Amino acid sequence: MYAQMVKSEAANDDPALLAAFQARIDAGERIEPKDWMPDAYRKTLIRQIGQHAHSEIVGQLPEGNWITRAPTLERKAILLAKVQDEAGHGLYLYCAAETLGVTRDDLTEQLLSGRMKYSSIFNYPTLTWADIGAVGWLVDGAAIMNQVPLQRTSFGPYARAMVRICKEESFHQRQGYDLITKMAQGTAEQKAMAQDALNRFWYPSLMMFGPSDKDSVHSTQSMAWKIKINTNDELRQKFVDQTVPQAKYLGLTVPDENLKWNDDKDGWDFSEPDWNEFYDVLKGNGPCNTDRLSARQKAWSDGAWFRDGLMAHAKKAEARRVAAKVAAE
């Protein structure tokens, strides 16, 4: 998932309905769009699914940055297929959000006006070809870590979207790892690019899980509703434990002097990312915030005539159908 700072809404519904709702969730039942749900559950989900959808869309940009420069036809095809998948993920997720009573246009408008966020990872630039490997390996890897548990989330359409998405994300991760393996085992320059990519993407990837549990104020309600399944720190730990051996295999160094195996917890000790940087990026001060958002705004406003044209044609075609029917009667 790419939803790292979702505020859950306070609940002020009928206590009896709320209790029955919670009982369904506790029993492992799926909530479907037509079922009663607390207003806050609905709003929180819209925000979370919307943020995830926006991340898939904005996430096309850092990868699209290299499609025209991909070094082989095969790599170009793989990257095109990946970006196509990401746009598809955006589509499923917008559809899931629409079952909650918002429109895609609404959500888009909120993204473009800055009222809704997307994952801060996409506010970092892709500077070399190795970054495309690092994005697949680390960013899709972190996304999977977040999303696999969400296949069991309480809201039916969201859970089902996750099942489809997770399959494709794990494919992306393997392809990214394959790419960076080629770089890490390549010429001295390629190896340097691979290391540089890991250096730049390591901490931003750790940030994808959201703030530390002790600072994460919105988790409790979301966890009770099974909108969130694991805590941020649990997932971050899992990610580090999975990724460190992969980096070692590549002969790359994780940029953390404090990285140390801890027998007691059967996992790695590691440094926290710089949370000031995280909040700066959220506030709009990441290296690419302005570029990403203005690229999306431009795409949307440049495309207005296209969308209007299709609407106008649909209306004309409908009017002609009606006229033909009248004439025939």
Partner 1 sequence: MPSLPDVMTPDAAQLAQAAGGEGRAPLETGSPEHDLFTGLTRLGDTTLILGHRVSEWCGLAPVLEEDIALANMALDLIGQTQLWLGLAGEVEGRGRDADALAFRRDGWEFHNLLLVERPNGDFGRTLMRQFLFDAYHLPLLKALEGSTNPRIAEIAAKAGKEVAYHVERSADLVIRLGDGTDESHARMQSSLDALWGYTGEAFIGDAVDARLGEAGVMPAPESLRSDWDRTVNAVLAEATLERPASDFAHKGGKQGRHSEHLGHLLTSMQWLQRSYPDATW
What is the binding site for Fe ion (CB under 5 A)?
56, 86, 89, 140, 143, 169, 172
- How far are the Cα atoms of 33, 181, 204, 228 from residue 178, in angstroms, in the given order? 40, 5, 21, 31
Residues paired with 261 in a beta bridge: 268
* Interface stretch with partner 1, choices 23-31, 75-83, 162-170, 233-241 (CB under 8 A): 75-83
Q: Which listed option, Fe ion, partner 1, none, makes contact with residue 75 (CB within 5 to 8 Å by class)?
A: partner 1
**Number of residues in the chain:** 329
- Choose which of 11, 18, 40, 91 interacts with partner 1 (CB under 8 A): 91
Report if residue 299 touches partner 1, rule: CB under 8 A. Answer: yes
- Choose which of 167, 309, 322, 324 interacts with partner 1 (CB under 8 A): 309
CA angle (84 as vertex; 74, 161 as ends), nearest 5? 130
| Residue 205: both structure tokens together | 């990837």
- Choose which of 17, 36, 39, 69 interacts with partner 1 (CB under 8 A): 69
- How far are the Cα atoms of 77, 97, 189 from residue 155, in angstroms, in the given order? 35, 10, 47
Report if residue 328 touches partner 1, rule: CB under 8 A. Answer: no
Q: Which listed option, partner 1, Fe ion, none, makes contact with residue 83 (CB within 5 to 8 Å by class)?
A: partner 1
What character string, x for contact with partner 1 (CB under 8 A) and - otherwise, covers 112-141?
-----------------x------------
* Interface stretch with partner 1, choices 12-20, 66-74, 224-232, 241-249 (CB under 8 A): 66-74
The residues near 7 (Cβ < 8 Å, ≥ 6 apart) are 44, 47, 218
Report if residue 312 touches partner 1, rule: CB under 8 A. Answer: yes
Q: Which of left, alpha, beta for 266 (phi over 0: left; psi -120 to 50: alpha)?
A: left
CA angle (82 as vertex; 137, 192 as ends), nearest 5? 40
Distance CA 216, CA 213 (A): 5
Report if residue 250 touches partner 1, rule: CB under 8 A. Answer: no
Q: How far is the CB of 310 from partner 1 (least distance, A)?
A: 5
Distance CA 177, CA 72 (A): 17
- Choose which of 25, 46, 57, 206 interacts with partner 1 (CB under 8 A): 57
Binding residues for partner 1, rule: CB under 8 A, are: 57-58, 60-61, 63-64, 67-77, 80-81, 83-84, 87-88, 90-91, 94, 104, 129, 182, 186-187, 189-190, 295, 298-300, 302-314, 316
